[in-house]
């Protein structure tokens, strides 16, 4: 009895000591490893606009911390498995630094994935068709105004545009919602006009939030892919200049929007063709994002 107790006591003590040593080593690694420190500095900057969004919407630190725990567990579960080994709570705890009780609790709860709003899916397809198909654009490649009813415009009408994408959804509910959120407006001739800049509805927070998480995730995933030296690298390019006036920013922004829309429309048109050609393929299981953004801000003046 004494020997067993002694061995158990030593085991507990060793585990306690090992835990403390690991904590010390982690702190030392962070302070002594310049690469990790630079990654942490980069993450701090990346997180700033996300924390700004969180505070704007009343999401505080404790709420975000719980979300961060969920993400750590998900990533460890999905991307850091050992070959031919089941991923255990203990291993995830070791990888993430989370308490094993937290890991067990988070692995057992159902995943609360953000679902893509149905109108986003349909809307993206409709707008994509409207800005690229020869039936719905003018000689300059701009989307034309469409008669609201097929009885007036025939195949070149808003009703037929919707029917080209889905036979199960009536055009009227789509039109009513699009008018509400500012994607389209109806002119004096009862024609539907696309607000070309409204690919993301200006007043529809749910849709904007979906595109926010989709675009930011994919952009960061592409840069992470490249930072971890996975081959082949993914396309991730930008043009960056400072020391510019506001007038120069306005000119470059207009140029970026005009040239960027040319590229987006070209890729969109070809994607529609390839998607249609892929319908019969059994391996049509890939998705992609090709994005465009222009950001500007006032520089912080360097101390003199």
The answer to whether 148 touches 104, Cβ cutoff 8 Å, is no
Burial 175-197 (b: 16+ CB within 10 A, else e): bebbeebebbeeeeeebbebeee
pLDDT band at 31 (very low <50, low <70, confident <90, very high): low
Q: Where are the beta strands (DSSP E) in the chain?
A: 146-147, 184-186, 191-194
| pLDDT for the residue numbered 21 | 35
Residue holding tokens 């319908």?
279
| pLDDT for the residue numbered 120 | 58
**Through-space distance between the first and last CA atoms of the chain, rounded to whole angstroms:** 74
pLDDT of 137 > 80? The answer is: yes
Average pLDDT (81-92) is: 90
191-195, 197-201, 228-232: which range is least confident on average?
197-201
- The number of residues making up the chain comes to 304
pLDDT of 188 > 70? The answer is: yes
The Cα–Cα gap between 115 and 137 comes to 32
Q: Which pTM value belongs to this model? A: 0.63
pLDDT band at 302 (very low <50, low <70, confident <90, very high): low
| pLDDT for the residue numbered 84 | 85
pLDDT band at 117 (very low <50, low <70, confident <90, very high): low
Of the two residues 31 and 210, the one the predictor is more confident about is 210
Average pLDDT (154-158) is: 94
Q: Is 107 exposed, middle or buried (0-12, 13-18, 19+ CB in 10 A)?
A: middle
Of the two residues 43 and 205, the one the predictor is more confident about is 43
Task: Tell me which range, 18-32, 82-96, 190-204, is most confidently predicted by mean pLDDT.
Answer: 82-96
39-43, 165-169, 272-276: which range is least confident on average?
165-169
| pLDDT for the residue numbered 19 | 37
pLDDT of 22 > 50? The answer is: no
The Cα–Cα gap between 20 and 26 comes to 10
| pLDDT for the residue numbered 167 | 84
State what percent of residues in the chain have pLDDT above 70: 82
Which ranges of 132-245 would DSSP assign to H, the alpha helix?
A: 150-153, 158-165, 171-181, 205-227
Tokens of 185: 């407006």
Of the two residues 40 and 1, the one the predictor is more confident about is 40
pLDDT of 217 > 90? The answer is: yes
């Amino acid at each position: 009895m004494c020997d067993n107790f002694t061995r158990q006591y030593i085991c507990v003590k060793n585990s306690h000591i090992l835990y403390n040593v690991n904590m010390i080593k982690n702190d030392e690694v962070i302070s002594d490893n310049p690469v990790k420190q630079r990654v942490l500095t980069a993450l701090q900057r990346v997180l700033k606009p996300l924390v700004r969004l969180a505070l704007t919407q009343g999401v505080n630190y404790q709420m975000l911390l719980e979300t961060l725990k969920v993400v750590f567990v998900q990533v460890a579960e999905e991307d850091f498995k050992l070959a031919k080994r089941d991923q255990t709570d203990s291993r995830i705890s070791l990888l993430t630094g989370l308490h094993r009780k937290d890991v067990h609790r988070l692995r057992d709860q159902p995943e609360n994935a953000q679902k893509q709003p149905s109108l986003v899916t349909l809307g993206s397809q409709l707008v994509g068709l409207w800005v690229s198909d020869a039936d719905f654009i003018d000689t300059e490649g701009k989307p034309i105004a469409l008669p609201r009813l097929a009885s007036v415009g025939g195949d070149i009408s808003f009703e037929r545009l919707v029917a080209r994408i889905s036979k199960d959804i009536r055009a009227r509910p789509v039109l009513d919602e699009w008018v509400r959120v500012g994607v389209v407006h109806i002119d004096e001739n009862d024609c539907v006009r696309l607000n070309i800049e409204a690919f993301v509805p200006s007043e529809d927070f749910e849709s904007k939030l979906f595109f926010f998480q989709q675009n930011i995730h994919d952009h960061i995933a592409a840069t992470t892919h490249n930072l971890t030296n996975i081959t082949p690298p993914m396309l991730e390019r930008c043009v960056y200049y400072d020391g510019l006036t506001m007038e120069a920013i306005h000119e470059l922004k207009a140029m970026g929007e005009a040239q960027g829309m040319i590229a987006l429309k070209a890729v969109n048109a070809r994607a529609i063709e390839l998607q249609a050609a892929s319908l019969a393929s059994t391996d049509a299981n890939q998705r992609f994002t090709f994005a465009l953004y222009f950001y500007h801000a006032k520089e912080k003046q360097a101390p003199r």
